[in-house]
Structure 1
Amino acid sequence: MKEVIAIIRPKMVAKTKAALEAIGINSITAIPVLGRGKQRGIMGEVDIEYRPQIGEQAPSRGMKYIPKRQISVVVQDQEVDTVVQAIIQVNKTGQFGDGKIFECPVDEALRVRTGETGAKAIL
């Protein structure tokens, strides 16, 4: 099993969720996160009020942290490539801020309600 973790733009969550559902992935976790990479801040990506001076500074200094969404999906090893491609297809614009995807090994999974483990716990 693997965990696929994607950091994406907040406005892309619904499209990403729909793309994952289309390939049979219905169980996801999505949480708001803050971070910063090369993007350094695109004011159109932020759903908050900000002082005009911040927008003027963004091209040179950037924002301290940028709101993003982290989506996490645990899948069987053979599903990883399909999941990653679905996420890329929806989120790739060619611009800074498209996101990052990480693949992490999962040693075990346990469904609390039934006690099922392994693949049965994530299906």
Structure 2
Amino acid sequence: MKEIVAIIRPNKMTRTKEVLAALGFPALTAWKVLGRGKQKGLAGEVSFPLRPDLVQEEGGMRYVPKRLISLVVEDEDVPLVVGAIMKVNRTGAIGDGRVFVCPLEDAVRIRTQERGTVAIL
């Protein structure tokens, strides 16, 4: 099993969920997060007016709003899921996000105490 963690643009969240569900991966966890990459938070990334104290002199922001999603999949499904996330979220512009694939030792469904693959299905 692997955990796939992706940091994406907020406006891509709905489409990402739709595509993953259509591929058979409807279960995920999502958070509203703030962060920035090496571009130091481009102010043009957001579609709302910024308070002056949030904008840095270089035209950047302290942090940019993003969405972080996490889902657990079988090893053989990693290329499909990562490919789908990439296809939906890649605009070719700075700020498209990141995808991380992490090894996962075990999973336990609390209600039934099932372990491993059956716990994530």
Instruction: Tell whether the structures are fold-level matches, with TM greater than 0.5.
Output: yes
- When the two chains are superposed, the root-mean-square deviation of aligned CA atoms in Å is 1.9
Pairs aligned (count): 121
Deviation at 1:44, TM superposition (A): 4.8
Alpha-carbon separation, structure 1, partners of 2:24 and 2:72: 13
Partner residue in 2 for 1:86: 84
Distance 1:51 1:65 in 2: 12
Identity %: 52
Deviation at 1:14, TM superposition (A): 0.4
Give the TM-score normalised by structure 1: 0.89
| 1:16 match | 16
Unpaired runs of 5+ in structure 2? none
* Structure 1 residue aligned with 2:37: 37
Structure 1: segments with no counterpart, 5+ residues: none
Q: 2:94 aligns with which of 89, 93, 96?
A: 96
What is the alpha-carbon distance in structure 2 between the residues aligned to residue 36 and residue 66 of structure 1?
6
Instruction: Name the aligned partner's letter for residue 113 of structure 1.
Output: R
Kindly report which structure 2 residues correspond to 1:34-113, keeping only aligned pairs within 5 A, or say none.
34-46=34-46, 48-51=48-51, 57=57, 60-113=58-111
Compute the displacement of 1:117 (Å).
0.5
8 Å Cα contact 2:35/2:64 also seen in 1? yes
Q: Distance in 2 between matches of 1:73 and 1:10?
A: 17
Q: Is 1:114 matched with 2:112?
A: yes
Which consecutive aligned stretches of 4+ in structure 1 deviate over 4 angstroms post-superposition? 52-56
Rounded Cα–Cα distance in structure 1 between residues aligned with 2:11 and 2:115? 34
Say whether the 8 Å CA contact 1:4–1:103 is kept in structure 2. yes
| Displacement after TM superposition at 1:46 (Å) | 2.6
Tell me if the contact between 1:7 and 1:71 (Cα under 8 Å) persists in the aligned partners.
yes
Given that residues 2 and 73 in structure 2 are in contact (C-alpha distance below 8 angstroms), is that contact kept between their aligned partners in structure 1? yes
Aligned equivalents of 1:53 and 1:117: distance in 2?
49
- Whether the aligned pair in 2 keeps the contact of 1:38 and 1:96 (CA below 8 Å) is no
Equivalents in 2 of 1:34, 1:54: separation in Å? 13
